[in-house]
Structures are given as structure tokens and as C-alpha cells.
Structure 1
Amino acid sequence: MEPAAPGTIVTLRDVAAASGVSLSTASRALDERGTASRSAAAAHVRKVAEELGYRRNSFASSLRRGETRTLGVLVPRLSDTVMALMFEELEKAASARGYFAMVATSGDDPDDERRAAETLLDRNVDGLILATARLDDELPRRLRERGVAHALVLRTDGVSPSALGDDEVGGYLAVRHLIDLGHREIAVVTGPSFTSTGIARLTGARRALEEADTKPPEKWQLAAGYGIENGFSAGEALLGKSGERRPTAIFAANDNLAMGIIAAAHRFQITVGGDLALVGYNDIPLSSRLATPLSSVRVPLDQIAATAIDLIVNPGKEPTIRKSMPTLIPRESSGSPRQATTQDRGSAASA
């Protein structure tokens, strides 16, 4: 079959006529929103459409249904590896459901977040996915009041539909791993207190410490940002004071923090995986490629992305805050099992 002449617009009616099927049959065969039919008739229609050079105008057909099949995704920044990976998974999950995902960045300022969200809504997106939520964030509340379809991803405000990892379980797994290796002098560097991730990971870490009946100094529980520079500052505070009691292990609530702590440890000639055990969080691709591969808590971003899309396109009566289970990935940075020395046991008892 010859393709249409250059400049000729091939319509669905043309495809139906060339295929010898009805207009509705051709439309169903070429509908990309769901799982493609595997029937011989549908395959024939798709083959004819390809030979004719037919291109479905999904935007026009979506407008006729009062939708654009487009979702807006708002992230703080794409220079953050986790956010970039999260958007990639959201894009895949959206595409599998016949949607297109577009991204905007907002930084950490609530006003910038609001403006970025309005920019996406001005593009007539069918819903918003926010990876920016703060516990004190007004944006999710305003979206609820306006009836805007939305879902929070990775973080939650405890009210809006949310897809995230079980951060409390993740924090528990990280610190339990260090305890099982024989450590009792454990510091925790967690994320900002305005994020659900920071609070939940710290809660899980504290639960593990309480179960082991160990109480490290309060000053060893630091709240920081999620950047490498924040980890370096925390590492300096924990490791840099000569003659003072130091932790033998640290749980860092994301891998960026852990990498900053590695840099601080190197500055003070402390060997990660030997002198200091370290566990991060998120298991970004770089974690396993470091000079001393980083133990980390892996979060199933693909599951979280699929859940976030479904919360918008297939809303149901199930719980709207859905958590996926994280997994601890042990590597060399957490070291080998160690026996607590008499000094360690005495320090732990007096802490």
C-alpha cells in the first residue's frame, strides 16, 4: 500500500476505508490509552495506518473528552539524582497508561512551588504530582479545596493522596543493621524536620535504638538538608573534634548526606567501612560504585511512580496514602561484624 502523498493529512476515516472496517473498529484498534488489542483485525488496522502514514491526533481527541492526557510533575530540582530518577519512573508509568508527563522545578521556596504549580495548571494538565510536599505546605490543601486531581510522591502531608516508601521501616532497617553488626555508638543524620521523610526515618532509627536499649547522645541526632554539603557539615560536627567521643557508626537519611560524611571522614583520616560504619538511604546508582560501596536502603521508585499515577487516573476507595516497602542493601561501607570493646560497653551504658 502506497503512503499518502506529502502534505496529505490521513484521517481515521481513510484508515478505516483502506482496512475494510468500521470507523469505530479502526478507532479502538488505534486507541493508545489502554492495552493494545492483539486481534488479527486490530493488527491489520495498525499495519494499514502505518503504511498510510496515519498519525493519531491524541490532543484533539482528548480535548473532545474534556482532558489532555497530560500530567504535571513538580520536583524541587532535577540535579538531585533521586528526583531525576523519580521523574523518569513517573514518565514511564504515565506513558504505560496513555498519558504524557511534563516536569517543572520549584526549588525549596513555597511561593516558587505555588507559581510552578499554577504554570502547569495553565497548560490544562489533568492532574499534578508533587515531589515537593512539606508538612506545613499550603499547596496540597489549596489543591484539595479547588478539587484539582493530585498526588504527592516520596513525601506526604498526611492528608492528600500520597505514594511513598515506608520511611519509618527504612530508618529502622538501617539502624538495626548497624546494631546487628555490634555497634552501639550510633549517630543519625536525618533530613529537614518539615519533611515527612526526615521525621519518619528518624522515628524508625530511634525505635531500633530503643529496642537495643542504647541511648547515644542527643547531639548525635542531627537534622540537616538533603545535600552533600549538609552531610559534610554533619560529618565535621560528628567526627572532627579531637579527643571527644565519636560514633562508631552513622545512619545518613539519604545517599547525598552519606557521601558528604564520607568526604568529612576522609578529611579526618577516618576509614569508612573500617573505623566508621555508614548506611545511606535511596540506593542511587552511584552508591554501589563508590571506592567503598555504600550500604543503603533501596526505595522501589517504580512501584511508587505507578501508585502515584493510579491515584490520579484510577482513584478508588482504597487508602489514599500508600506505602511501598524499602529494602536494606548491605555493602562494604557498613563494615564487618564487630565486637564491642569494654570501653564501648561502658560508654553505651553511661550514655
Structure 2
Amino acid sequence: MPAVVTASVVVLKDFKEFEATNVTGKIVLFSPLWQGYGKTVAYRGAWQRVKNKGGVGLLVKSITPFSIGSAHTGSGGSGATIPTGCIPIEEVELIERLYNRQKEIVVQMSFKSTMKEETSSRNTVFEIKGSQWPNQIVLLSAHMDSWDVGQGAMDDGGGMAAVWQAMKCILDMSKHDSNYAPKRTIRGVFWTAEEQGYFGSQAYYKSHSSNSNENIFFVSETDNGAFKPLNFNSSLKFAGNENQKNRIKQIVQLLNEYEIPLSVRDSTDQGDVGFWTKDKVPGVNYSSDKGANYYFYFHHSNGDYMTVFKEGDIDYTAAIFSSLAHVLANMDDWKTE
């Protein structure tokens, strides 16, 4: 739908300032400090609050700690009845400087958006059948959709490549020596429609939750950038009980011995596989040391190209997941000595 609004801009740092400011007839520009993606992204979905206070448009500083003139897209404006958009950090800072000098800034927002009809898309599923417990599933995953900007190489093509390579390594080894064949089934899934709201993983969860012939033993995802871990800020964000965490820690210690710096941290942030971890299935979400900030330089922007990755990134991420999957697929249970 087309939307054209011309109005004065009011620049605000946070929701506290917003609540204390008269924004009637104004375009609200939020310029929050970067506090990590999870906290900062809330401003992108603030159109309803702005409208309720009489605002006529919403602009948000792109949800990133660093910019080279790049706007970052993403969800949050769905259903908006006032113009809503993100603009690059540099442009926000220019407007903010003028605003702080008591200059009146008048902006024309001219947007045109179209909601396409719903269509069907598919998850992609592939697996290595377990030799002893084929109905127990060790699940590795990434998502295959991306936003319209960039290539989606980082979000989440790299995750897909790492999962594929991890499973290919296990398959190649088991063909060479049957002792390497997994006892449990290792299943890879590339989720569809993650960016729209985990639709692919949710559909898979619902369709498989009633399958009494299968037991999801473990779930995992990589969607914070498949970067080579360079220090111990790289982690497997873990959800599960203490026995399960101790087993994951043992596997990570083995990787540490091969000079792969990695830690284990408790986290409810499990992305697509959160449907299972809420059901008490143990899971991890890989986040390299670049996952907290550097990843968001390129996230949902035109900069998300294959050149984001450097030599070794995909290989090391694949090594983490192949080691993890192979041990979990072959151990007797979650108990540790």
C-alpha cells in the first residue's frame, strides 16, 4: 500500500523518552544505543505505540552496531498503518545532530509496500540412518530463506553449508570404515520461512510431535554466523538439564584439545529448534565470538554476501557439528561418569 507523510521529526533515544514526549503529528525517529540485537530490535516493531500517541510515521536507526551507509531490513512493521522504516546509522546521526541544535527537521516518508499472497514452501530434509537406534534423531539445522537484500550467504547460507559438510564428513567416514557409522539417525533440516516467524520449523514440529515412532534425542541450529571460533567467547548456547550439559561440555573439551576455542553457556535462545527445547529436548545454538556484534554489521543488509566468510569459517563450524553429532549419535545415554 502506498503511504506518503510529510512532518517534523522528533528524535528519541529510548521508550522512556518516548513516553515523556508529545509526538502528535510528528515522525518519530528512534536512535537507541546498541545493546545487542535482542534488546535493540524492539524499536523496529514500535509503530503501534507511536500511532497510539498520535505519531504519523516511524523511523528507526538500523539494528546494527556499525554501518557503511547500509539500511538493515527485518520484521516488525507487519500490519503497520503508519509509514515505518529503518535508515542507516550515518543518516540518523546527521538528523540527530541537527535536532540537538534545535533545528526543525522536516522529512517526507514515501513508501510503497505490497503483501503478496500466501504460497507454499518446503523444508529440506536429509539424513544418515542410524544402525542401532534409527528412530532416535540427532537433528542439525539451519534456515534456507533470506531477506531480499544481499545474498543471504551469512544469514543463513553459511549455516546450511556447515550442516551439509558436517554430515558429509560423517557419511564419508562411515563408508570408509563401518565403525564410524552412527547408531542414532543424524538428520539435517534446512528450515523454510524462518524470517517470517519460524513457520517452517513450527510446521515440522507440529507434524512430527504426534509421531510416536520417533524420538528427537537432540536438536541444534547455527544461525548466528558460521564463523571460525577465535576465542572462548564462542559458545554453544545450551538448553537442557545438568546431565545433558555436562555431556556437551565433555564434547567441547575434546574440541578444545584440538585448539578449537569453545564454551558452553545456558540460553533459552534456540531459534528454530526452540519448539523442541521447550519440550525439554536438549539443544544448542552455535554462536561464534563474532556472533554478538560483527554478525550484525551485515545482518539483513546488502552487505550479506559470500565475502563475509573467510578461509576456515565453514570448515571449523562443520567440524564442531560433525564432532557433536557423531558423539551424541553413538553414546549410550546422557549420563556422565
TM-score normalised per structure 1: 0.31
More helix by share: 1
Which has the higher Rg, Structure 1 or Structure 2? 1
More strand by share: 2
Query: Does 1 or 2 have the higher relative contact order (CA < 8 Å, sep 6+)?
Result: 2
TM-score normalised per structure 2: 0.32
